[in-house]
Amino acid sequence: MLKVKNLSISSKGSKQRLLDKVSFCVGEKEIHCILGKNGSGKSALAYALMGLNRHSYDSGEIRFRKRNITKKKTSERAKLGMTLAFQEPARFEGLTVRDFLKAGKSSVSEAEIVKTLNFVGLNGKEFIDRKLDEKLSGGERKRIEIASVIILKPKLMILDEPDASLDIIMYNELYDLLLNVRKMLGCSILLITHREEAGLIADNATLLENGKAVKSGTFRHVMRTYCEHEGKRERCLAFKAMSFKTIN
């Protein structure tokens, strides 16, 4: 589905290397986590995959569905089936949920909007007329964001920390929702996260450190390396003992 080979990018102004020869693969219907500390380059990777020119491309190759998309525009990548939900999405305050969901795909029908909202666990008939404002809870916002991505029926969903700032019940619900999305759309998911609990749904993972992909493989192995590198010995042992249920 996605093959990244030796991808290097730098910041536009200071020419600081943000990603250094990053390589990893995401298979069909795979949930692949990108792990790494704050500032390790996770969001920079998401932007680069989507072709958003926030940084300058240095070298390497991105292949998506067997095509070389390294030089393709964001709109072309989107047409091929790649979508990104930002870490800090634009707020679009005051817009109704209907208009927000139509913004990505104007041809979407009223019935499909209601159905998609129901699918993400919201009452579609009620929420379609709600405004995007501070009255929505954090969890409701996340669900609406995910609905906006589902409506595009992507082949690869890139989600930048959708589980940040959610409490334990909420992120478990979010993970269940992601499994259901994969089942319904048959898509792959690139999940950027800090949370080790993502191992409940992830197949594989890649660990970024200072812009380098230092480990890629099964979630469990990569998380163990992450804990070792961070000096969290007890966690490391827990990961050795733990067997995750991987649901395919």
Ligand X SMILES: Nc1ncnc2c1ncn2[C@@H]1O[C@H](COP(=O)(O)OP(=O)(O)OP(=O)(O)O)[C@@H](O)[C@H]1O
Q: Residue 62 phi/psi, 5° resolution?
A: -120, 120
Strand intervals (E) in the chain: 2-11, 17-26, 31-35, 55-64, 67-68, 82-85, 156-160, 188-192, 204-209, 212-218
Residue 12's CB is within 10 A of a number of other CB atoms, namely: 11
On whether the CB atoms of residues 159 and 88 are closer than 8 A, the answer is no
SS (H, E, C) 5-22: EEEEEEECCCCCEEEEEE
On whether the CB atoms of residues 164 and 6 are closer than 8 A, the answer is no
128 touching ligand X, by CB under 6 A = no
On whether the CB atoms of residues 140 and 132 are closer than 8 A, the answer is no
Selected from 24, 30, 32, 40, the binder of ligand X by CB under 6 A is 40
Compute the distance between CA of residue 175 and CA of residue 154 in angstroms, rounded to an integer.
18
Residues in binding contact with Mg ion, number by CB under 5 A:
3
162 touching ligand X, by CB under 6 A = no
40 touching Mg ion, by CB under 5 A = no
Of 61 and 209, which has the nearer Cβ to ligand X?
A: 209
The nearest distance, CB 202 to Mg ion, in angstroms, is 18
Of 88 and 93, which has the nearer Cβ to ligand X?
A: 88
Selected from 8, 43, 116, 206, the binder of Mg ion by CB under 5 A is 43
| Binders of ligand X in range 63-122 (CB under 6 A) | 87
Residues in binding contact with ligand X, number by CB under 6 A:
16
148 touching Mg ion, by CB under 5 A = no
Selected from 4, 8, 31, 42, the binder of ligand X by CB under 6 A is 42
Of 35 and 117, which has the nearer Cβ to Mg ion?
A: 35
Token pair in block for residue 230: 């961070």
Selected from 2, 4, 22, 44, the binder of ligand X by CB under 6 A is 44
Binding residues vs Mg ion (CB under 5 A): 42-43, 87
Give the interface with ligand X as residue ranges (CB under 6 A).
Answer: 11, 13-14, 16, 18, 36, 38-44, 54-55, 87
